[in-house]
Structure 1
Amino acid sequence: MARRKSDSPQKAAMREMMQGYLKENDISIKSGNDVNSIMRDMMSVLLEGALDEELNEELGYSKYDYRNKETDNSRNGHSQKTMRTSYGDMDIAIPRDRKGEYEPQLIPKYQNTVTQDMEEKIISMYAKGMTTGDIEAHLKELYDLDISDSTISRITDKIMPLVKEWQERPLQEIYAVVYMDAIHYHVRSEGRIVKRAVYIALGIDMDGKKDVIGMYVGENEGAKFWLSIINGLKNRGVQDILIACVDGLNGFPQAIEAVYPKTEIQQCIIHQIRNTTNYVSYKDLKKLMADLKMVYAAPDEAAALEELESFGEKWNSKYPKIYKSWSERWATLSTYFKYPNEVRKLIYTTNAIEGFNRQLRKVTKSRTVFPSDDSLLKMLYLATMDITKKWTGRRRDWSQIRAQLEIYFEERLEKAEF
């Protein structure tokens, strides 16, 4: 059994004082509420003592020490203030001076809650998508606090180092699948409202667990931009990505081939189908989609190519762009055909990351324009932390999926000593 360390003189004195306090007042601790009550009393005594010392410093002399008094100002009793704390509400006696010049620094005039507690509340509200103006009004209504939106912004700015640390954190050595997608927002920049893309990378590791491994605010997508992102993943420890799933992002295939040349690329079939319908009149839509389903639902790639040719022969005269689009993108659209059904379901759509994006939009829907890139990133980071804390399990059927991946990517996984 471990022995308790010897108390420091300060801790020993406090222990003796607490034991005496409990004994003299016949107090027994039987529940968490009892602890809260005692902590509330202790905090009240400490705060009142600190405030009295603060006023001593302001006036230049201690209470009743009139010989050292060199001011015509003096004490003028106390005013009561109710403070809201994590231990419950408590009444504090705030000292006053005769001239009304004393402004408490420990508990500012319009503050009636403990700073850290309030900062946590502000950050929590920001994470739920509330604007700084909404938070300001909310604090005024609920707590009668006058906190400006600029102060709220400064409080939320305190998380920026955490955002940077999160963006640069080490990653797994290998990911089975990485989904890439973009979500767009409006941001103020140099007096103008501009459109910003937030590029998101969501990875599934070899244990079947998903995580947001990258989030980047940028202006334009392209090979150069994607190359910087993918190099960033490699610098953070990612040695290999087995399969990358994307929604036709410009420049992505070239960029990932430059960094991870063996990575398989799967373009989202669902997005390709949606883009296809842009060309089709309503009266033809049902028949055309039935013929197109014969392509993407084929049992293997050979059968799919035959169905694609049949589709072209039937519809090229009316909708030549559809066949052309599928043919030109076939190399990245058809990747999933080489795998069993369990892996196909994992990669032929980007539903995993789209679901995450929907949750982000739900949080940010009240924000039509963000004041800066940092404010956008702050909110998305906080929302991401809130969303991903529920991602505790692994993907369903992962044991079977992993066994299949280990067969198809045996050599690469062995090199990674995985």
Structure 2
Amino acid sequence: VDCVHIKIHRKRSVASEAFYVALAVTEEGTREVLGIFNMPQESATGWGDIFDKLKERGVQRVGLMVADGIKGLDTVIGEKFPGTPLQRCVTHLKRNMFAKVRHGDKAALASDLRDVFRTGQRDYTIEMAWEKWQTMCDKWGKDYRAIKLLRNNADYKAYMTYLNYAPEIQAMIYTTNWIERLNRDFRRVTRMRTAMPNEESVLTLMGRVAMDHKAFDRALPNITVDKKLFPD
């Protein structure tokens, strides 16, 4: 799940508003946009309303929720879809981490982050990743207090949820890249129109883009290998 922000006219003024997008992997292993919804701002409460709408339309169970770092989302997911694990987007985390260091240190920090957030290794566990995270925070915390303060923040374990799943799919589920690419398509078609006349026009245009996404018709390779998400 993610939001894309698009400028629309409302009350004789133009402002950027949030359009909530829910993208799913179905039981058949294909991707499908479940819905696009508009609210002026993104919030955990807003996502709660969206989840209620999806439940009313028939979504019964979510195997894994992948999202960015919006505060309070974990609580809302627990209320609306009890027992659903949350994977926070590692790409968003890396961007936030790079903002905490000088430009000349970004390459070295990127290397250390790759070492923490490994994918595709069958013997690499959350416990090992957490230990590497703490070691990394100790190292960089000597020069950057903002990183030192992250060392024991258990919220960051939500970025490591992907390690509970089959190595073959970890690179697919540890970021929101699928939905980010879709959002780029949304921005491309709306940017050509400067500001949209109303929310209905945006929803119509975004819906058309989503339905025309032919790549979503193909089953993802190896996605059903993980029996936690796709039991026989």
| TM-score, length-scaled by structure 1 | 0.51
Match of 1:368 in 2: 194
Count of matched residue pairs: 227
Of 145, 155, 159, 1:320 maps to: 145
- How much does 1:264 deviate? 0.9
Letter of the 2:207 counterpart:
Y
Task: Kindly provide the amino acid, as one letter, of the partner of residue 71 in structure 2.
Answer: N
Identity %: 29
What SS does the aligned partner of 2:193 have?
Answer: coil
8 A Cα contact 2:2 2:22, kept in partner:
yes
Deviation at 1:329, TM superposition (A): 2.8
Do the aligned partners of residues 293 and 367 (structure 1) sit closer, same or farther apart at CA in structure 2, a change above 3 Å counting?
Answer: same
Question: Is it true that 1:381 corresponds to 2:207 in the alignment?
Answer: yes
| Structure 1 SS opposite 2:70 | coil
Which deviations, in whole Å up to 9, do the C-alpha atoms of 1:118-159 show, x marking residues without a partner? xxxxxxxxxxxxxxxxxxxxxxxxxxxxxxxxxxxxxxxxxx
Quote the offset at 1:257 in angstroms: 0.8
d(CA) in 2 for partners of 1:314, 1:391: 42
Other-structure match for 1:190: 11
Secondary structure, aligned partner of 2:32: strand
Flag the 1:379–1:330 CA change in 2: closer, same or farther, 3 A. same
Q: Which has the larger radius of gyration?
A: 1
Change (3 A) 1:275 1:366: same
Q: Which runs of 5+ in 2 are unaligned?
A: none
Q: Is the 8 A contact 2:163 2:170 kept in 1?
A: yes
- TM alignment of 1:71-110, pairs within 5 A: none
2:64·2:229 contact (CA, 8 Å) conserved in 1? no
How far, CA to CA, are the matches of 1:183 and 1:385 in structure 2?
17
- Consecutive unaligned residues in structure 1, runs of 5 or more: 1-179
CA contact (8 A) 2:20 2:36 kept: yes
- Please give the secondary structure, in 2, of the residue aligned with 1:334: helix
Match in the other structure for 1:97: none
Q: Describe how 1:203-282 pairs up with structure 2 within 5 A.
A: 203-282=24-103
SS in 2 for 1:242: coil
Q: Which moved more, 1:212-221 or 1:249-258?
A: 249-258
User: Deviation per CA, 1:357-394, whole angstroms, max 9, x where unpaired?
Assistant: 1222222221221121112222212222222x453221
Matches within 5 A, 1:132-147: none
Q: 1:282-332 deviations in whole A, cap 9, x for unaligned?
A: 222222222222211282222212212211221113223235447353231
Whether the 8 Å CA contact 2:130–2:157 is kept in 1: the answer is no
Could you tell me how far 1:259 is from its partner in structure 2?
A: 1.2
Alignment of 1:30-69 (within 5 A): none
Distance 1:249 1:242 in 2: 20
Q: Partner residue of 1:293?
A: 114
The offset of 1:223, in angstroms, is 2.9
Match of 2:184 in 1: 358
Q: Which AA in structure 1 matches 2:138?
A: E
Residues 360 and 380 in structure 1, CA contact (< 8 A), matched pair in contact too: yes
Q: Secondary structure at the match of 2:46?
A: helix
Q: Give the one of 145, 168, 191 matched to 1:342.
A: 168
The alpha-carbon distance between structure 1 residues 294 and 391, as it changes in their structure 2 partners (threshold 3 A), is: closer
In 2, Cα distance between the equivalents of 1:272 and 1:188? Answer: 33
Distance change (3 Å), C-alpha of 1:403 and 1:390: closer
Return the letter of the residue paired with 1:243: L
Q: What RMSD over aligned residues (CA atoms) do the two structures have, in Å?
A: 2.0
Superposed CA offset, 1:77-110 (max 9, x none) = xxxxxxxxxxxxxxxxxxxxxxxxxxxxxxxxxx
Distance 1:351 1:210 in 2: 13
Partners of 2:16 and 2:169 in 1: CA distance: 35
Which residue identity does 1:374 align to in structure 2?
E
Using the TM superposition, give the Cα deviation of residue 396 of structure 1 relative to its aligned residue in structure 2, in angstroms: 1.2
Instruction: Look up the SS of the partner of 2:64 in the other structure.
Output: strand
Matches of 1:391 and 1:288 in 2, distance apart? Answer: 34
Using the alignment, how far apart are the partners of 1:386 and 1:181 within structure 2?
19
Instruction: Give 2:160's aligned amino acid.
Output: S
Q: Secondary structure at the match of 2:63?
A: strand
Separation in 1 of the partners of 2:60 and 2:211? 25
Is 1:330 the counterpart of 2:156? The answer is yes
C-alpha distance in 2 between matches for 1:324 and 1:185: 34
Alpha-carbon distance between aligned partners in 1 of 2:156 and 2:129, rounded to the nearest angstrom: 10
Residue 319 of structure 1 aligns to which amino acid in structure 2? Y
User: TM-score, structure 2 length as denominator?
Assistant: 0.89
Question: What is the distance in 2 between the residues matched to 1:328 and 1:368?
Answer: 42
